[in-house]
Chain A
Amino acid sequence: MFQVIGERINTSRKKVQAAVADRNAAYIEEDVKKQQAAGADFIDVNAGARIGHEKEDMKWLLDTIGPIATVPLCLDSPDPAILEMAYGMVDKPPMINSISLEKDRFDTMMPFLKGKECKIIALCMDDSGMPASADDIVARTVELVTRLESIGMKQDAVYIDPLVQPISTDSVKGTMVLDAVRQIKNQYPDVHITGGLSNISYGLPERKIINRTFVTLMMDAGMDSAIIDPLDAKIMAVIRTADMLLGNDNFCMSYLKGVRSGMIKS
């Protein structure tokens, strides 16, 4: 089944930032409950936007979300000290967002990850920048998977983000990532593919139709997770439907359940 990482609890979103600044627990609780009801499999928690307040904001958010969370959290920070604190505060093994091949990030995240029970989002980014080709994405994935396995992480715990880039700047940016995902799933069937999708439509009008079409193509290529807004009913309906069509929904049960609950509409 496709795994949705709910992206809404992020202090770079204005309303969340205000709620965090005001310590408005009711707002955060309600948002998390809505994401869970909409089918989020993980709740991403990012407290990075109020510069200088990340640690206390993350602590408050986890204190607030912990008691009502029915799904694991995705702890989203570049700072291992904050992740260490956050890891100690959650009761279900979390997902960690994220490691990359950028040297500073890689070298600080590896000691944190070693021996932890968690899933990890691994970005195909290195010190030279964004990947420039499908082969680039695959090579970086091989490096990430190999290095993460060397500290005992299972392939099934690794969520590769191939870094979707805007098709508006180069017409081949869609096929580049689709080809890469196919190759990765071929080589590592147990490794997951995740990431944000909306970059694909940057610089173009009517972005959501692009995002929805792209997610179905990506799912066919092997993407089995995404970092999205689960309250976007249309993309959620497309994902559930595509999951069924790709054979991941026995007897179409999940699709039918979605239709009966009103979440999937034509």
Chain B
Amino acid sequence: MTDFNEIKETLVNLDEQRLIELVNEALEKDIPPGDILNKGLIAGMDIVGEKMENEDMFIPEVLMAAKAMSKGVEILKPLLSDKETQTRGSVIIGTVKGDLHDIGKNLVAMMMESAGLTVHNLGVDIAPEEFVRMIKEKNAGILCLSALLTTTMPMMKQTIDAVVESGLRDQVKIMVGGAPVTQAFADDIGADAFASDAGSAAKSAKALVA
């Protein structure tokens, strides 16, 4: 449907004002709000994520796109049914204990939210037992761990070990990322996925819960 394409393009072009107009116009045409959200806004952010991954778009542009999208979501939210606001999955994300870096982790959280996942961002310096507690409390399907320091990378393994010991390992897919983290390291510590940037992180999170 052309409306969705225009919404997607407008989002990718970072035109917040036009995007709001388009969302309102679509509502006037009685297009279901859930479709506007999923086939328009979220689908548009998927393109943004891909462009980020391919270095066609950069962090400031991604931030602008996310801001524009959230304005659109604000309009739609009151109109969505409970079923429609049910998201694609629940994510726990945090920086591991001993590490206080949060910029990359917050970008990942934002991209996952924009991809339609429910994200619980626990913050920085999070102990393994706190991750475990939150997986239980939020009944999460995905756990995302971030570390920016070579000295805190071993804490990722300790956190995964704690999840295994808690008996929750089968319930969650575990993703890891951060500047020093590699696919080999992810394999080594028993993670399910590694992502090198926020765009690909959101994409692989969706794939993991699909």
Binding site for B on A (CB under 8 A): 12, 48-49, 51, 78, 102, 104, 125, 127-130, 165-166, 168-169, 171, 202-205
* Measured CA separation A204–B101 after assembly (Å): 19
User: What are the 7 A-B residue pairs with the smallest beta carbon separation, nearest first?
Assistant: A203-B59, A168-B59, A129-B100, A49-B150, A168-B60, A48-B150, A12-B150
Q: A12-B180, A51-B153, A168-B60 are in contact. List 6 more A-B contacts (CB 8 A).
A: A51-B154, A125-B100, A128-B100, A130-B102, A202-B103, A204-B60
Q: Which residues of the other chain, B, contact A78 by a CB distance below 8 angstroms?
A: 151
Nearest opposing residue in chain B for A78, CB measure: B151
Binding site for A on B (CB under 8 A): 55, 58-60, 63, 98, 100-103, 107, 124-125, 150-151, 153-154, 180
Q: Which residues of the other chain, B, contact A127 by a CB distance below 8 angstroms?
A: 100, 125
Q: Select which of A12, A49, A130, A204 is within 8 A of B100 by beta carbon.
A: A130
Q: Select which of A48, A169, A171 is within 8 A of B103 by beta carbon.
A: A169
Q: Is the CB of B150 within 8 A of A51?
A: yes
| Total number of residue pairs linking A and B with CB closer than 8 Å | 47
* Measured CA separation A51–B55 after assembly (Å): 32
Q: Select which of A48, A102, A125, A169 is within 8 A of B59 by beta carbon.
A: A169
Say how far A85's CB is from chain B's closest CB, in angstroms: 17
Q: A127-B125, A166-B59, A203-B59 are in contact. Are A48 and B151 (CB under 8 A)?
A: yes
Q: A48-B150, A127-B125, A169-B107 are in contact. Are A203 and B100 (CB under 8 A)?
A: no
Nearest opposing residue in chain B for A77, CB measure: B151
Say how far A243's CB is from chain B's closest CB, in angstroms: 30
* Measured CA separation A104–B99 after assembly (Å): 12
Q: A166-B103, A169-B103, A169-B107 are in contact. Are A205 and B150 (CB under 8 A)?
A: no
Nearest opposing residue in chain A for B98, CB measure: A104
Say how far A140's CB is from chain B's closest CB, in angstroms: 13
Nearest opposing residue in chain B for A11, CB measure: B150
Q: Which residues of the other chain, A, contact B102 by a CB distance below 8 angstroms?
A: 129-130
Pairs A–B under 8 Å by Cβ, sample size 28: A48-B151, A49-B180, A51-B150, A51-B154, A102-B100, A125-B100, A127-B100, A128-B100, A129-B100, A129-B124, A129-B125, A130-B102, A130-B103, A165-B103, A166-B59, A166-B103, A168-B58, A168-B59, A168-B60, A169-B59, A169-B60, A169-B103, A171-B60, A203-B58, A204-B58, A204-B59, A204-B60, A205-B55
Q: Select which of A12, A130, A203 is within 8 A of B60 by beta carbon.
A: A203
